[in-house]
Structure 1
């Protein structure tokens, strides 16, 4: 997919639950190969938007254009306990289970040695890597990640973040990561979008080179700006030149 071509194009998207518009006339573009993080308070519509992009929610108004080859990974790995790990990965493929493609995806996430075990013997980090392999095996143009590290301990979470960054740099598919973790968003993404009451209220471009350090002055300034947009603390004056507010 050409990097100048949007991987996602959303215009006027609205999703109502009863009288409440959880997503309200939202516009969004993601470019091919771009890593975008979406943050916001609980209930602002982040996961609803991701489910719509994943083609899991169709009761909408507006237009949504996404690649045919897309994959999603959730916070819960959602592995089938009665299928061995490689067969769980192969579930993402059409037709008969393709063991070789499943093994190749497991190799990428460092889990090929666990291909023939049952999911119940995997650690939390291993189960999440199996979930990522199931997404990768589709060779997607768009990967949708819904808080995939939320249930992991701090050390395992850091390793999983590094793995996702490496996979993105290798495959260059577009990624939309939904997260509550401001530092995680800044460590991984090209852009961070702040969602509030069903629309994208703010955008921050992250132009720091990888690997990124949380101790970096610009990193701390960006973190302060995002926290201010989330209503956690006043906006630091020093970030006015690095942040751009975008109203949907």
Structure 2
């Protein structure tokens, strides 16, 4: 499936065969404020990308455009495949059990929803009500709801930001396991986050959004699992790009 902005690119040409998404000249204006200003970005098939930026820099705006949720954005955008989103809030319907939330809008047998719950380790809570779940369990259910669509591009909009430190580590491991477990590196991930450490721990490539465009790009050439000691220089560089100076006293 291809999703396009008003200036359309409807198919991926031969030069884009390895790309799951390509954006050219993306612009989004809110009132008199230009949040995204002629942004270009490519995401390769099977790639894990993290997007950093200050609050209000347009990270979630870019993600919504990639998901086809912002008809007011302009530019050219192609997604070669299926897109699914997991948001910061799980957004589970409280009047539907977990399994029915995962299967919401699904045009396949409910067995697919059970399989997605198994992927995130939540089959034992399939019949539970959302309000009885912990924060981590609710995010697992939200992730299962995205995975059941069998996406080529998984968009994660700060899904771990409200979790405690230990639960966040567990979710990091889960997402990496799901990503690496997909056949032939089919799944691409774009993670929007404020957390530099999270970006470096998870991603192959880290982008910094500033003044409406990609202001900096870093490739993380460190094998997983990664320790803090392996990432000190990259961390310092990215914090500097975000205008943050560490006190090393």
Equivalent residue, structure 2, for 1:62 = 75
Equivalent residue, structure 2, for 1:130 = 141
In the alignment, the residues of structure 2 paired with residue 119 and residue 152 of structure 1 have an alpha-carbon distance, to the nearest angstrom, of 16
Describe the SS at the equivalent of 1:215: helix
Q: Does 1:233 align with 2:245?
A: yes
Equivalent residue, structure 2, for 1:169 = 180
Unaligned 5+ residue runs, structure 1?
Answer: 235-248
In the alignment, the residues of structure 2 paired with residue 94 and residue 141 of structure 1 have an alpha-carbon distance, to the nearest angstrom, of 18
Going from structure 1 to structure 2, the CA distance change for 1:5 and 1:191 (only over 3 Å counts) comes to same
In the alignment, the residues of structure 2 paired with residue 228 and residue 87 of structure 1 have an alpha-carbon distance, to the nearest angstrom, of 45
Describe the SS at the equivalent of 1:184: helix
In the alignment, the residues of structure 2 paired with residue 110 and residue 221 of structure 1 have an alpha-carbon distance, to the nearest angstrom, of 35
In the alignment, the residues of structure 1 paired with residue 17 and residue 177 of structure 2 have an alpha-carbon distance, to the nearest angstrom, of 22
Shift of residue 99 of structure 1?
2.1
Describe the SS at the equivalent of 2:42: strand
Q: How many residues align?
A: 230
In the alignment, the residues of structure 1 paired with residue 59 and residue 36 of structure 2 have an alpha-carbon distance, to the nearest angstrom, of 9
Equivalent residue, structure 2, for 1:83 = 96
Larger mean Cα displacement after TM superposition, 146-155 or 14-23: 14-23
Alignment of 1:29-40 (within 5 A): 29-40=42-53
In the alignment, the residues of structure 2 paired with residue 72 and residue 233 of structure 1 have an alpha-carbon distance, to the nearest angstrom, of 33
In the alignment, the residues of structure 2 paired with residue 197 and residue 38 of structure 1 have an alpha-carbon distance, to the nearest angstrom, of 14
* Normalised TM-score (structure 2): 0.89
In the alignment, the residues of structure 2 paired with residue 92 and residue 48 of structure 1 have an alpha-carbon distance, to the nearest angstrom, of 24
Shift of residue 4 of structure 1?
5.2
Larger mean Cα displacement after TM superposition, 72-81 or 55-64: 55-64
Displaced runs of 4+ in structure 1, greater than 2 A? 1-4
Pick from 148, 155, 159 the counterpart of residue 144 of structure 1. 155
Pick from 198, 213, 220 the counterpart of residue 232 of structure 2. 220
Q: Does 1:103 align with 2:114?
A: yes
Q: Does 1:24 align with 2:29?
A: no
Pick from 207, 219, 224 the counterpart of residue 205 of structure 1. 219
In the alignment, the residues of structure 1 paired with residue 80 and residue 114 of structure 2 have an alpha-carbon distance, to the nearest angstrom, of 25
In the alignment, the residues of structure 2 paired with residue 194 and residue 77 of structure 1 have an alpha-carbon distance, to the nearest angstrom, of 25
Q: Does 1:9 align with 2:9?
A: no
Unaligned 5+ residue runs, structure 2?
Answer: 1-11
Shift of residue 94 of structure 1?
2.7
